[in-house]
Chain A
Amino acid sequence: MRSLSAALLIARNDFRRRLRDRSAILMGLVTPLVMAALIGSAFGGGIRFSATVLLVDLDGSDISRGVLDGIAAGTPDTAPLHYRRGTDLVAARGDLEAGRVDSVLVVPAGFGASVPGLAAGTPLVPLHVVVDADKRLAGDVTRAIAEGIGSRITTSVLAVSTALAVSASPPDAAAVQAMVSEAQKVTVPIAMQQVDVQGRYSPVAYFGASMGILFLFFTVGAGARSLITERKEGTLDRVRAAPVTDTAVMLGKTIGVLALGLASLVTIWLATSLAFGARWGSPAAVLAVIVAVVLAVAGISTMVTGLARTDAQVDGYSSIVAFVLALLGGSFMQPGSLPGVLQTMALLTPNGWALRALTRVGAAEGTLVDVLPAVGVLLLMAVVTTAAGIGGLRAKVAR
């Protein structure tokens, strides 16, 4: 029997058997879809930012009042920021812990008094920001506002003092008053743009893909593991006793696994599109990413199976690898809300590259060309991991 037809026969048999296996359907299709629907709906059909910042004035000076008024004035009506005013830091912390506000910007005592000293090189008393660890984005925005205020005051005061120095007359009370007035007039231009992609890219699409890729490790892993199971149960011997080469057997098993992975992700793609109206974007680009990530996951599964000695080891290693890569790759949280280090580490995972590419296709109208770098990286991962595991896997087949 020719190798290719033998391989296709083996692949078709494996594929059919996996489709009959309810656990495979549950793992490869039902669970990812349910998870995507649950997580997606938890985000209310869209991921929006809105924060209430409590402005606490512990200084009570004209300058501090002017600065805080300036913040409110500098914030456009369309910005998703709301302000409350306060003068008690303890009460402010209580509001933050109770979730009544999302962050606190504190003007400390002595802030106003430190402004005139800027001209003489004395540093400005810094503004403080109190953040909730669970609301990182609100904290980051408030920090940026505080830094902007400090920078604007310093720039304004230096501009006044420089003008006075050029006039060659020594600074007097009027000059200092001028500086203070400048500081009071500081208005931080808060420019916030929230791109609303809700209509185009739903969280269900993102989490459909992310959960699909996570569970791909189990469906594809089970396919790779079936080599060990079949060897133990004797069916692999019966297959190898037929007039086929070991290469054809390996090829057939691989095609079966890839077909299963592709079927799983493509079905999730179609199901989320039809049932939830999720728009994934350019079909060509989506398909390219799906094929590439299936190959990458198959490569990793090959490596895991090749290195493991028993079925139990394959299961254990596969679970560890699947969840570590899913966590690092943004399968549970969108990368934008992860710390910078984790966003970088996501690029070590197939999940990270695939989700980044799919997000670009779905949210930013990315095309096939746009996802080619990610597809290239995924294919490289597939080649490297397959090469690392194929020797061990071949030894398991040929004994």
Chain B
Amino acid sequence: MGDSSGPAATPVLDATGLVKVYGDRRVVDGVSFTIERGETYGLLGPNGAGKTTTISMVCGLLGRDAGTVTIAGQPLDGSHVSVKAAIGLVPQDIALYPDLTARENLRFFGRLQGLNGKALASRIDAVLEIIGLADRADERVDAYSGGMKRRCNIGAGLLHEPQLLVLDEPTVGVDPQSRNAILESIEVLGGEGLSVLYTTHYMEEAERLCDRVGIIDEGRLIAEGTRRELIDQVGEHARIRLDGTGALGDLARRCGELEAVVSATPSAGSVDLVVTDTAAVLAPLVQAAERAGVEVTAIDVAEPDLESVFLHLTGKALRD
């Protein structure tokens, strides 16, 4: 998928110091990030954080007050519109003409991207297969279900085999089944080497899809890295709650001596632990319980996630 020619070191997207100001409000304030070839990058933030404004600038839809955007080594500005052919945009809304069929929509947007003739027809057929609408391609889009429209919306972004697929919250308002289908298809595309910029305010989507995540809040990119790096950056640890009966104080003391345990606190009917490595601590924990004579009734593990990272960084939840 995509034309991956060019120096391997050249990122498919390099956004530097992006700024957008409306009146006296800096909606995007110095956002910088890069996306390497084949990488899926997530912009994670609550509604109104500046995600859509950022990708609008990246796609050349919105003027920048400061900053630069380079697509596959080519600067994106008014005099280089051909650079935009490297991007496949999937807007948050169903950006399709409802009174046209799926095939007609794809044909129109394909032609806008410069495809024609057999190459266009072939790509349309291929995309219809990818999005699972080959058998209903000649029905009007307004007759489709919400999930079908979403898939067609994604298909229109894939048509011209872009180097970078930009998806702006593609699962908003989608039923769980369709949502899962969309996420699966993005995983497949990412697995085939397509670079993806994915914005979402769903932590679990970012964790599932993205190689790296940029956390954006109030127009600023406040942290960036892999999931593990982000968790490590803020020092978040997993939490284990062990319910049982017996010498819970003794068990807490024994657990405190384990290498991966940061703290162990006994309470009524349970011991609460903060650990750096859940996998490394579970077996020794069970052994320690046996030695302390504690009968374990339940073990509840809470791994650190991006939600907790966001909470740690901003003091608020992602969906506030």
Binding site for B on A (CB under 8 A): 1, 6, 9-10, 13, 17, 20-21, 233-235, 237-245, 398-399
Contacts and interface: CB of A to CB of B under 8 A. Distances in A.
Nearest 9 A/B pairs, CB to CB: A234-B95, A234-B93, A242-B112, A241-B89, A238-B95, A234-B91, A243-B85, A243-B84, A1-B114
A224 B65 CA distance: 29
A252 to B, nearest CB: 10
Interface in B92-143: 92-97, 99-100, 108-109, 111-114
A205 to B, nearest CB: 34
Nearest to B107: A13
Contacts of A1: 112-114
Contacts of A21: 99
Contact of B89 (A13, A233, A237, A244): A237
B100 A244 contact: no
A13 to B, nearest CB: 5
B interface bracket (residues with beta carbon within 8 Å of A):
20 to 34
A242 B114 CA distance: 9
Interface string B57-74: 001111100000000000
B44 interface: no
Contact of A9 (B89, B95, B112): B112
B113 A233 contact: no
Contacts of A9: 108, 111-112
Interface in B20-35: none
A238 B100 contact: no
A235 B95 contact: yes
Q: Is the interface of B mostly helix, strand, loop or mixed?
A: loop
Given A17-B99, A17-B100, A238-B91, A243 B113 contact: yes
Contacts, number: 68
B286 interface: no
Given A238-B89, A241-B84, A399-B56, 17 more contacts: A1-B113, A9-B112, A17-B99, A20-B99, A234-B93, A234-B94, A234-B95, A235-B96, A237-B95, A238-B109, A241-B59, A241-B60, A242-B85, A243-B82, A243-B113, A398-B63, A399-B61
Interface of B: 56, 59-63, 78, 81-85, 87, 89, 91-97, 99-100, 108-109, 111-114, 156
A6 B54 CA distance: 26
Contacts of A242: 84-85, 109, 112-113
A311 B113 CA distance: 29
B167 to A, nearest CB: 12
A244 B81 contact: yes
A355 B59 CA distance: 48
A243 B81 contact: yes
B97 A243 contact: no
30 contacts: A1-B112, A6-B112, A9-B111, A17-B99, A233-B94, A233-B95, A234-B91, A234-B93, A234-B95, A235-B95, A237-B61, A237-B91, A237-B95, A238-B156, A239-B109, A240-B60, A241-B61, A241-B84, A242-B84, A242-B85, A242-B112, A242-B113, A243-B82, A243-B112, A243-B113, A244-B112, A245-B81, A399-B56, A399-B61, A399-B62
